A and B are shown apart, each in its own frame.
Chain A
Amino acid sequence: METIYFDNNATSKVAEEVLEEMKPFFCELYGNPSSMHTFGGRVGRNIQKAREQVADLLGCDPGEIMFTSCGTESDNAAIRGTLAAMPQKRKVITTRVEHPAVLSVCRELQNHGYTVVELGVDKQGRLDIADLEENLDDDTALVTIMFANNETGVMFPIEKIAKLVTDKGVVFHTDAVQAVGKIPLNLSKSNIDLLSLSGHKLHGPKGVGVLYVRKGTRLSPFMLGGHQEAGRRAGTENVPGIVGLGKACELAAKNIKEENSKVKYLRDKLEDAILKSCPDSRVNGDRKNRLPNTTNISFEFIEGEAILLMLDKFGICASSGSACTSGSLEPSHVLRAMGVPFTAAHGSIRFSLSRYNTEDEVDYTIEIMPGIVNRLRELSPFVERAAF
């Protein structure tokens, strides 16, 4: 059975071209870029090339790229590093729908005397900008708001937010792990101070990420040790990972049109067909401002994990915001923040596509989905017999 992979917001396939680029850096070019010999120096030049490739995708200067070990590290480094650089300010503003890599860090800060404001969202998952504006004050050190939501794909008006925040002299960080490679960026013309991205979400390898640090942004280093990454992030570079991420960014820049045409077309086709063929289903999140690859659909009266297992039997990989899959006993914090009723939150399924998906895969999923939903509804005590 072939695997149909619709879980690209969790992680994505490493592009063949990326793997090829990485291979020599294990057994041949294994030198340490910090070494004085030519052998090590050659490796250093490849890191520099990767830095340029990433900078090209983001539209910034290569010197503003700091390699990390993952998106979570980038988020931690941005938040903790900013606060450490301005100890006199004690307030952080974020949202209730952030990824745990941001939300857990912010909540932990409360134990250290920080005031943390978590902005709410409306039923479509949208922020109230006026609410943000009201909360910005002289004590605010940092605003950290995600570019696009990993569960629903909903995008916030980040440029507008960044301008508002930085006009007040407050540092602005965005977790753009889901957006980079899907949404065109030009950071040289933007007000974003700090931006996190992750290699494995854009067909690069796992174990490598980036924190973009705008020139002039004060950031205390989070990892101490050697002088790597201009003293901002110590630790011997993950050379194959960095080289792979560079290549992945180069490919992403080339494929960004396809993401917004082919991938979007497939996503829309899948979403429309499922909504049509499955009664009592609905999309979670603002359909107008969304990543081109993500759809989050709730099926009333049935439970997400059961749907996932049925899909799994057909080789289809997706994910769910239900309690049974979240590791806790409550459904997704994102859907709850949006006020999605429990009935719908428990039965939510996220499909996240990539440029490697085909129309045949989408058609196959469209074909089997109603059967799965009907079957589970036949088991459900909340569906009256009359409905079927």
Chain B
Amino acid sequence: MWEYTDKVKDHFFNPRNVGEIEDADGVGEVGSLACGDALRLTFKLDKNGRIKEAKFKTFGCASAIATSSVLTEMIKGMTLDEAAKVTNKDIADYLGGLPEQKMHCSVMGREALEAAIENYRGGGKKKRELEGNVVCTCFGVTDKEIERVIRENNLTTVEQVTNYSKAGGGCGGCKGEIEKIIQRVQGDKIKQVPVSVPRRGERLTNIQKIQLIQQTINEQIRPPLRADGGDIELVDVEGNKVVVAFRGMCAQCKLADVTMKDVVEAKLREFVSKDLYVEEIKDSGQ
């Protein structure tokens, strides 16, 4: 059961401004049936350019409905410039907060509002252009949108980005990409969580080392690669050099070099020995 505030429950059970304004000045539509939530926002301006009336129709869970309802209340009386400044955080705060996993509902509200304003300013242009490149193909989220939720909500983990934008919440294949966007946007702001130094046994014999490398690949490295449709194979170990080959999707992946350093080498150093380095063989086993 989600912990909803009384305000969320109130706006869910008694939604305000349900419906559609027939001769609306601005119409904003976001989301889809497939994604699990969708919102159509319409507004009408008075002669001073302030929002006189706003209405919504929403398909989605309780927090999606409450967010839409509260949004129509919030923007009434605002000029479009004022409305354009409303952030998803403002909406969530107005509701007394939303569960972390439901923050994407507030982002959907902000996006619908923006789409409606754009629609008005663009002279009734129907479809909203996607800005940036799609990162999460499951939910159609672009890098620009991800950057924005990171910045506006000061997010530092992939999990948070998923909660706020849904990106990464489907197949999970774009989680690495999201991680990089977080690093790009937040840079030094990401807290370096102190990690305890892994405890390693005494000197390993060659056989023990190879077994431990294989085990680490099986348990720590292969599962996330598999999730992306790829795979990895241990080819050889020569001293501290670990030779591996990428398979499946990883073999063609442009990010393979990054995966190599950030994932494979890092994990092997964490779990086996800090002296290890990894090299990739491109053509073996083909």
Contacts and interface: CB of A to CB of B under 8 A. Distances in A.
B15 interface: yes
Nearest to B18: A379
Classify the interface of chain B: helix, strand, loop or mixed.
mixed
Interface of A is mostly: helix
A303 B37 contact: yes
B218 interface: yes
A298 B65 CA distance: 19
A85 interface: no
B57 A381 contact: yes
A324 B218 contact: no
Interface string B1-44: 01000000000110100101000000001000110111110000
User: Quick one: which of B38, B62, B166 has the most chain A CB within 10 A?
Assistant: B62
B108 interface: no
B64 interface: yes
B62 A329 contact: no
A323 B40 CA distance: 20
B222 interface: yes
Interface residues of B, number: 33
A323 B61 CA distance: 9
A229 to B, nearest CB: 29
B97 interface: no
A301 B218 contact: no
A346 B15 contact: no
B139 A346 contact: no
A247 B102 CA distance: 43
A288 interface: no
B58 interface: yes
Contacts of B65: 306, 379
A313 B58 CA distance: 20
A111 B139 CA distance: 28
Given A303-B59, A323-B36, 6 more contacts: A301-B33, A322-B36, A329-B162, A342-B36, A381-B40, A385-B20
15 contacts: A111-B223, A111-B226, A303-B37, A305-B2, A306-B12, A313-B13, A322-B61, A323-B36, A329-B36, A329-B162, A329-B170, A346-B36, A378-B18, A380-B57, A382-B59
